[in-house]
Amino acid sequence: MRRATSIVREVKLVAEPVRAIDREGVFEGYASLFGIADLGKDVVMPGAFADSLKKRGAGNIRLLWQHDPSEPIGRWLSIVEDRRGLKVRGRLNLAVERAREIHSLLGEGAVDGLSIGFRVERARAERPTGLRRLEKLDLWEISIVTFPMLPGARVDRVKQAGEDLAQCIRATAVRLFS
């Protein structure tokens, strides 16, 4: 006697490709997160960027590719500390060849890391953890990178012009279930 086997239909939702950047090259994300140790055991504390941001402003902090001073790729539109960390909004200069390449890589999700370049002005070491608490930093550049020292420092999704959450959900459902 043969047993009837029932087929269970399984549905797995695949995330929509991240649109990390708009057509004009504008993107945003977190370049640093407060209270989280990076791969080098540094922990940025809330307020660490306050004096530097007041002194320099977003316009005097460079937007680079892989921390390379010979690879400026755009400019920062805003840099602010919020409760989570250092929130940034930048624009790639699409007249620059490298910036167009990065624009394409960000759009595909191949690159999405952010990393800060700074000078330590005040820090304290913690024993026995080996962590270094960074309390005051002189921020001079933020780079788009392949591998950030702080894995959570990433370019976030940027809302497309005219798109809202309901439209996104409807479009994804149509794509998946039709």
Q: Note the pLDDT tens digit of each residue in 85-112.
A: 999 999 999 999 999 999 999 988 899 9
Report residue 166: phi and psi, to 5°.
Answer: -65, -40
Active site residue 6: no
CA distance 35 to 44: 6
Which pLDDT score, from 0 to 100, does residue 23 have?
84
**Which is catalytic among the residues 16, 67, 71, 178?**
67
Is it the case that residue 56 has pLDDT exceeding 80? yes
> What is the pLDDT averaged over residues 132-141?
97
Model confidence band, residue 4 (pLDDT cutoffs 50, 70, 90): low
CA distance 158 to 112: 12
Is it the case that residue 20 has pLDDT exceeding 90? no
**Which is catalytic among the residues 32, 52, 115, 143?**
115
Mean pLDDT of the chain: 84
Is it the case that residue 178 has pLDDT exceeding 90? no
- Note the pLDDT tens digit of each residue in 143-154: 999 999 999 999
Active site residue 97: no
Which pLDDT score, from 0 to 100, does residue 45 have?
98
Pairing of strands 42-44, 113-125: unpaired
Please name each of the domains of the chain with its CATH number.
26-151 (3.20.16.10)
Active site residue 115: yes
Model confidence band, residue 9 (pLDDT cutoffs 50, 70, 90): very low
**Which is catalytic among the residues 6, 141, 163, 178?**
141
Q: Tell if the pTM clears 0.75, that is, is over it.
A: yes
Which pLDDT score, from 0 to 100, does residue 69 have?
97
Which pLDDT score, from 0 to 100, does residue 8 have?
46
Token pair belonging to 137? 């930093």
* Structural contact between residues 92 and 118, judged by C-beta atoms closer than 8 angstroms: no
Model confidence band, residue 160 (pLDDT cutoffs 50, 70, 90): very low
